[in-house]
Amino acid sequence: MSLTALRQRIATVSDLLCTLNLLVWDSRTMMPAGGTESRGHQIATATRLARDMIAADQTLELLDQAEQEVAGLPPDDDAHEELRQIRQAVSLHRRVPAELVERRAAIRAKANAAWAAARDANDFAAFAPWLEETVASTRDYADAIGWSEHRYDAMIGLYEPGETVATLQPLFSDLRLGIAPLLEKARERPPAELSGGPFPPSIQAETAKRFAALFGYDFGRGRLDATVHPFEISFTRSDVRITTRFNVQDLRPALFGAFHETGHGLYEQNVDPGYTRSAFATDLVGLYAVGGTSFGAHESQSRLWENHVGRSLRFWRLHFADLQAAFPDALASLTPDQFYAAVTVVRPSLIRVEADELTYDLHIMVRVELEAALMDGGLSVGDLPAAWNDAMRRHLGLTPPDDRRGVLQDIHWSSGMIGSFCTYTIGNVMAAQLFEAAMRVDGVSDGLDRGDYAPLGAWLRDRVWRHGRRRSRTEILQHATGSPLAPDAYIRRLAERYGA
Amino acid sequence: MSLTALRQRIATVSDLLCTLNLLVWDSRTMMPAGGTESRGHQIATATRLARDMIAADQTLELLDQAEQEVAGLPPDDDAHEELRQIRQAVSLHRRVPAELVERRAAIRAKANAAWAAARDANDFAAFAPWLEETVASTRDYADAIGWSEHRYDAMIGLYEPGETVATLQPLFSDLRLGIAPLLEKARERPPAELSGGPFPPSIQAETAKRFAALFGYDFGRGRLDATVHPFEISFTRSDVRITTRFNVQDLRPALFGAFHETGHGLYEQNVDPGYTRSAFATDLVGLYAVGGTSFGAHESQSRLWENHVGRSLRFWRLHFADLQAAFPDALASLTPDQFYAAVTVVRPSLIRVEADELTYDLHIMVRVELEAALMDGGLSVGDLPAAWNDAMRRHLGLTPPDDRRGVLQDIHWSSGMIGSFCTYTIGNVMAAQLFEAAMRVDGVSDGLDRGDYAPLGAWLRDRVWRHGRRRSRTEILQHATGSPLAPDAYIRRLAERYGA
């Protein structure tokens, strides 16, 4: 009875969070410029109502009663895990004062605009006061959540439960050691040739949709649109939308953007339908309608389809002819091997979102190192630009010529999103482990050889997608691969591709 | 203090209702088919939260206190009218039991699907049980709201405050008498010639956007998309969206659909910005984010731009060349006068949404007569198809060959929307009064002569649009034209156009 009422309440929260996702999707794809301020109010209201509903006394009472109701159920009944997750969210949202949530929202609304203006003007000093407020309020937020070893741990845990500064250090250290020699070798490779187009956006869009459908993405429950920054977002598994971007001179951003977002989309579309509107398809801690179990697990699916499937010689030997048929003039003189070479160029660069596969994680290490120092107070905002440039020299051997191409490049900090960067690397690592395990499954690799992605999809659906948030990333990885998170498989894959 | 808190609460309700409008807009323009069920939950949740927030004890307490706070303010202070409107909404939503609201939502969800299937199968009996439940629950709803002379009055008042069965009867009667002789004359006119296209939809869309912009619609705070049934919807005045439909063989639905929705859009875009997120830009009774003051007033703006501006010989003598330039092959052989003749063809027909300007109101009279009889119990659902056909014969001289083209044609009843039809005719009547008054204003008619729509827009902005819901339809009409609602001007306009 109370369990039913509690589930109804969670369903309502889920409806609100799906609605919030639509407000966000629309603001990035369809909304006229004039709508910005009103949309901010609408997003703030939906977020606040969802949070208040989770933190309400009535929810806590229902939860207390529901826990008693399920106490007698068998230990493997889903209700135990369901209530554990709800308890965690209720407890967290009741620990964080509403005043702090409002303060962070108010800072974010202004810091976003200040950051965009400061980046355009290459003026870190103009952003610094907002970043100071963001860091201070994030420290307060982490303290409200609670932490034991490192304040940063509280923030990391919001995006990747179980990870901490202590668990990330050996992972990053192993990766650095594995990547360094590959980077030396990759620098020696001759520059790759690529056509400069033109690639008409409408044909790029059709092509991207064809590949997404080939991978198994269901357009009856989704759509693909154009945006500046590609993303995937869902309003339950029945409506999962992806975007990509179109550059008339360069086909790669649209293609690999679409492969990446298709990976995210496949995860969301294939969560167990029984989890719809429940805690197992809603991030009640982060207040986000999402079926995937962690940011890292989600990124593992996008990276798997983008890099292990799509960025492979096997793939382009099969499909480059389709691409040539779509762009007969622009691609006439290229071979599949040349195209593959052009999509695996390695070149250390200043901008994370433009980084190649091999150097991407080095950008992440820069950010995680600086975030940890900001959170424990070892680094002040005033010293951040110098620290950024120093870290870029150490990790990538490059010195940013200005802050625009340095410390001001990412939107994350202006959004109060401190702690999420590590999940990109965790996604890369997990993707390699899953792909290696999938290759040992009968029929999967044979499928890839003939352009049949259904066997791979079926294995991922069974091992990863369908479990939604019912299982943690650690449980999923252990069950699917027999191992915990470890960088070996990833380094092996990178060595195959870039070490030859 | 309480007034501030109350206004904050209304702002939150407004945010929810703007969000609800986005859920609806998206479902009709962008949503993949798979999203239908989830979207239903999201819409139900947003609606319920808005309703609960208005009906909450806390809102009533704030309202009681706020009324005391404003008691000493000057009588012309806006706060008095603001609180009067909030009081009316709080009182109504507290009178209607939550159980009844839920029941009507549940019926609607199923009745919509049953109606669509019954219409396709031409099977009234399959829809009848749902219509019976709808009528019964609407009667309960009207009784909960309260009424004195006619139960139907309670429902009419939701859409057009102040109108009742008693006020509509003389209006409709005068209109019938005015239209009848015009219809006789119009039937004698020779059939008009019109090109069968092809009219490529993308060029239709560009053309529609050019006309909308010419009328003053601001695309920086709006957009135009394609739908099956054109509509306008807004998420505050900063984001007001319109749609139209594209028929490759017939240009008229796209053009006049766009003119119509542009009229609605102009109203919303020009409500006083100070009313944003307040009771003066939110229908707190109907729970709908809308700046216009009544359904009829809204329709007056769409009809004014569609019929008085766009469906005139003056207009096409000025702009037909633009149309020819957009569709050089399809329109090469037509003159402006021939095109005008083709957009003013009169022919009594079975389907309301396809009706011409002169016979449209006769369709409304059929529906209002039947709705009134259903509400007072004089007509049973079982007798409805025969009553429909009888009314069609009396009002339009036509007998529907089947229920698909008869009693099953409109979606309204399956949506529980009983009482709104009269607002279409009120819109027609009010449009003519406003247009006639505008023609007496210096510069307005001269502007139309040279294709300058700014003087007309400026007068409408001042007399109608900017007032939002601050003034009632009756106040606006009296102030703008010096008269109450009356059919004379409308009949004069129809006689000019169709009586010659």
Using a CB-CB distance cutoff of 8 angstroms, which residues of chain B are in contact with residue A18? 38, 42
Using a CB-CB distance cutoff of 8 angstroms, which residues of chain A are in contact with residue B219? 32
Q: How far is A42 from chain B (nearest CA, A)?
A: 5
- Assess whether A261 carries a catalytic annotation: yes
Note whether B239 contacts A19, CB cutoff 8 Å: no
Per-residue pLDDT of B19-76, as tens digits, reads 999 999 999 999 999 999 999 999 999 999 999 999 999 999 999 999 999 999 999 9
Q: pLDDT band at B242, cuts 50/70/90?
A: very high
Per-residue pLDDT of B422-449, as tens digits, reads 999 999 999 999 999 999 999 999 999 9
Bridge partners for A250 per DSSP: A247
Note whether B45 contacts A15, CB cutoff 8 Å: yes
Closest CA in chain B for residue A42: B15
Using a CB-CB distance cutoff of 8 angstroms, which residues of chain B are in contact with residue A45? 12, 15-16, 19
Residues A179 and A362: their CA atoms lie apart, in Å, by 9
Residues A216 and A214: their CA atoms lie apart, in Å, by 5
The residue of A19, A202, A233 whose CB has the most chain B CBs within 10 angstroms, and thus the best one to mutate to test that interface, is: A19
Q: How far is B12 from chain A (nearest CA, A)?
A: 6
Using a CB-CB distance cutoff of 8 angstroms, which residues of chain A are in contact with residue B32? 219-223, 239
Of residues A440, A326, A371, A321, the one with CA closest to residue A165 = A371
Q: How far is A233 from chain B (nearest CA, A)?
A: 13
Note whether B239 contacts A38, CB cutoff 8 Å: yes
Using a CB-CB distance cutoff of 8 angstroms, which residues of chain A are in contact with residue B38? 18, 235-236, 238-239, 276-277
Give buried/exposed letters for A478-500 (b at 16+ CB in 10 A, else e): eebbeeebbbebbbebbeebbbe
Mean pLDDT, range B248-264, rounded to an integer: 97
Q: How far is B363 from chain A (nearest CA, A)?
A: 36
Q: What share of chain B is helix, strand, coil (3-state, %, to 5)?
A: 70, 5, 30
Note whether B18 contacts A38, CB cutoff 8 Å: yes
Q: How far is A185 from chain B (nearest CA, A)?
A: 47
Average pLDDT, chain A: 96
Note whether A38 contacts B30, CB cutoff 8 Å: no
Across the A:B interface, residue pairs with CB atoms under 8 Å apart total: 109
Q: Which residues have a Cβ under 8 Å from the Cβ of A212 and sit 6 or more positions away? A: A219, A224, A242, A258, A262, A265
Q: Which residues have a Cβ under 8 Å from the Cβ of A140 and sit 6 or more positions away? A: A100
Q: Which residues have a Cβ under 8 Å from the Cβ of A80 and sit 6 or more positions away? A: A70, A73
Q: Which residues have a Cβ under 8 Å from the Cβ of A233 and sit 6 or more positions away? A: A21, A24, A25, A240, A241
Mean pLDDT, range B407-428, rounded to an integer: 96
Roughly what angle, to the nearest 10 degrees, separates helices B2-29 and A36-55? 110
Which DSSP string do the residues of A324-345 spell out, in sequence order?
Answer: HHHSTTTTTT--HHHHHHHTS-
Residues A38 and A109: their CA atoms lie apart, in Å, by 12
Using a CB-CB distance cutoff of 8 angstroms, which residues of chain A are in contact with residue B18? 38, 42
Query: Are B277 and B234 spatial neighbours (Cβ–Cβ below 8 Å)?
Result: no
Note whether A34 contacts B218, CB cutoff 8 Å: yes
Average pLDDT, chain B: 96
Sheet containing strand A240-244, edge to edge, reads A222-226, A240-244, A232-234
Closest CA in chain A for residue B218: A34
Handedness of CA A72, A78, A81, A84 (dihedral sign): negative
Residues B419 and B424: their CA atoms lie apart, in Å, by 11
Mean pLDDT, range B353-377, rounded to an integer: 97
Q: What are the average pLDDT values for consecutive 10-residue runs of chain A, which has 500 residues?
A: 96 98 96 95 96 98 98 96 98 96 91 94 97 97 97 98 97 97 88 87 98 98 95 98 96 97 98 98 97 98 98 98 96 94 94 95 98 96 98 97 96 95 98 98 98 98 98 98 98 93
The DSSP symbol for A241 reads E
Query: Are A107 and A137 spatial neighbours (Cβ–Cβ below 8 Å)?
Result: yes
Using a CB-CB distance cutoff of 8 angstroms, which residues of chain B are in contact with residue A276? 38
B264 labelled as ligand-binding?
Answer: yes
Query: Are B124 and B386 spatial neighbours (Cβ–Cβ below 8 Å)?
Result: no
Task: Please identify which of the residues A82, A133, A163, A261 carries the catalytic annotation.
Answer: A261
The DSSP symbol for A305 reads I
Bridge partners for A243 per DSSP: A225
- Angle subtended at Cα A232 by Cα A8 and Cα B38, rounded to the nearest 5 degrees: 30
Residues A116 and A221: their CA atoms lie apart, in Å, by 34
Which two tokens mark A474? 């650690």
Of residues B478, B469, B471, B441, the one with CA closest to residue B456 = B441
> Using alpha carbons only, how large is chain A's radius of gyration in Å?
23
Omega before A190 within 30 of 0, i.e. cis: no
Specify the long-range contacts of residues B326-334, CB closer than 8 Å, at least 24 apart: B326/B203, B326/B206, B326/B207, B327/B195, B327/B197, B327/B199, B327/B203, B327/B251, B330/B195, B330/B196, B330/B197, B330/B198, B330/B199, B330/B251, B331/B195, B333/B195, B334/B193, B334/B194, B334/B195
Query: Are A165 and A156 spatial neighbours (Cβ–Cβ below 8 Å)?
Result: yes
**CA A43: distance to chain centroid?**
21
Using a CB-CB distance cutoff of 8 angstroms, which residues of chain A are in contact with residue B222? 32, 34
Handedness of CA B50, B237, B228, A211 (dihedral sign): negative
What's residue B212's pLDDT? 98
Token look-up 């999923």 returns A476
* Residue B24 burial by Cβ neighbours in a 10 Å radius (0-12, 13-18, 19+): middle
How, if at all, do strands B232-234 and B240-244 pair? antiparallel
The shortest CB-CB distance from A35 to any of B16, B38, B238 is to: B238
Q: Which residues of B touch A (CB under 8 A)?
A: 11-12, 15-16, 18-19, 22-23, 26, 30-39, 41-42, 44-46, 49, 218-223, 235-236, 238-239, 276-277
Note whether B41 contacts A239, CB cutoff 8 Å: no
Note whether B35 contacts A238, CB cutoff 8 Å: yes
Helix (H, G, I), strand (E, B) or coil at A1: coil
* Residue A438 burial by Cβ neighbours in a 10 Å radius (0-12, 13-18, 19+): buried
Asked whether residue B500 carries a pLDDT value surpassing 80, the answer given is no
Q: Which residues have a Cβ under 8 Å from the Cβ of B44 and sit 6 or more positions away? A: A15, B105, B109
Per-residue pLDDT of A257-310, as tens digits, reads 999 999 999 999 999 999 999 999 999 999 999 999 999 999 999 999 999 999
What's residue B109's pLDDT? 85
Which DSSP string do the residues of A357-417 spell out, in sequence order?
Answer: TTTHHHHHHHHHHHHHHHHHTSS-GGGHHHHHHHHHHHHHS---SSSTTTTT--STGGGT-
Closest CA in chain A for residue B44: A15
Kindly list the structural domains of chain B, giving each domain's residue range(s) and its CATH number in brackets, ordered by start.
Answer: 2-146 (no CATH), 147-500 (1.10.1370.30)
Q: How far is A202 from chain B (nearest CA, A)?
A: 14
Which two tokens mark B400? 């529907």
Question: Tell me, what's the ipTM?
Answer: 0.95
A232 labelled as ligand-binding?
Answer: no
Residues B255 and B245: their CA atoms lie apart, in Å, by 9
Bridge partners for B224 per DSSP: B242
Which DSSP string do the residues of B237-263 spell out, in sequence order?
Answer: TT-EEEEE--BTTBSHHHHHHHHHHHH
The shortest CB-CB distance from A277 to any of B41, B276, B277 is to: B41
Distances (CA, A) of B1 to A127, B55, B63, B155, B275: 35, 20, 11, 35, 19
Q: What are the start-end ranges of the H helices in B30-123? A: 36-55, 57-70, 78-95, 98-121
Bridge partners for B250 per DSSP: B247
Per-residue pLDDT of B208-224, as tens digits, reads 999 999 999 999 999 99
Q: Which residues of A touch B (CB under 8 A)?
A: 11-12, 15-16, 18-19, 22-23, 26, 30-39, 41-42, 44-46, 49, 218-223, 235-236, 238-239, 276-277
The DSSP symbol for A224 reads E
Residues B20 and B261: their CA atoms lie apart, in Å, by 19
The shortest CB-CB distance from A220 to any of B22, B33, B38 is to: B33
Per-residue pLDDT of B70-111, as tens digits, reads 999 999 999 999 999 999 999 999 999 999 999 999 999 889
Q: How far is B48 from chain A (nearest CA, A)?
A: 10
The DSSP symbol for B381 reads G
B260 labelled as ligand-binding?
Answer: yes
